[in-house]
Amino acid sequence: MKSNAVAAGLEFAHATGHPHRDVKPHNVIEVEEGGGKRWVVADWGLTRRPLGETATPLTKTGQMVGTDGFAPPEAYRDGHLYGEPGDVFALGQVIAWACGVTPVPNVVGSAPEPWRELVEGMTKLDISERIQTFVDVRRLLRDVKA
């Protein structure tokens, strides 16, 4: 998986105010295009429009949004709280999964070196302690020597 390409796609979505809310391995796919391959984020079915632009609520307080093990803690409380830091958490769990670690709901992600520090920073349970943006994730990914 090309983490930087996936993070770039999620960065673009968040720049337009559209959190994915279900980043998981099955939604990160490799596609062939023009004789080459690239990684994309698929299945945007749980995406939320920018705050204030929704007409029909699809989620309710207390209703979990996302996939167990990949969804951030806030996804279990209120789907409206699931923004960019939530997708950062989910991508951190996907990276851990790609390293062979099975994600556990509401537990900080774990991964072997050289991914350990990045995954732990992406999957902090407290939103305020977590890496906040995909701009930051992409910057930190450049430092990972995999």
Q: Where is pLDDT greater, at 57 or 31?
A: 31
**Cα angle value 2/105/12 (rounded, 5°):** 35
| CA-based radius of gyration for the chain | 15
Handedness of CA 139, 19, 43, 102 (dihedral sign): positive
**pLDDT tens digits, 86-142:** 999 999 999 999 999 999 999 999 999 999 999 999 999 999 999 999 999 999 999
**pLDDT tens digits, 42-56:** 877 677 665 565 555
| pLDDT exceeds cutoff 70 at 59 | no
Decide which of 1.10.510.10, 3.40.50.720, 3.40.1010.10, 3.40.50.1000 is the CATH code for 3-45+62-141: 1.10.510.10
Cβ–Cβ under 8 Å, residues 139 and 121: no
SS (H, E, C) 5-59: HHHHHHHHHHHCCCCCCCCCHHHEEEEEECCEEEEEECCCCCCCCCCCCCCCCCC
d(CA 53, CA 41): 23
Q: What burial letters (b/e) apply to 41-67, b meaning 16+ CB within 10 Å?
A: beeeebebeeeeeeeeeebeeeeebbb
Handedness of CA 146, 9, 12, 109 (dihedral sign): negative
Q: What is the largest CA-CA distance in the chain?
A: 45
Of 113, 142, 137, 139, nearest in space to 124 by CA: 137
Model confidence, pTM: 0.86
Nearest 10 degrees: CA dihedral of 107, 14, 4, 140? -60
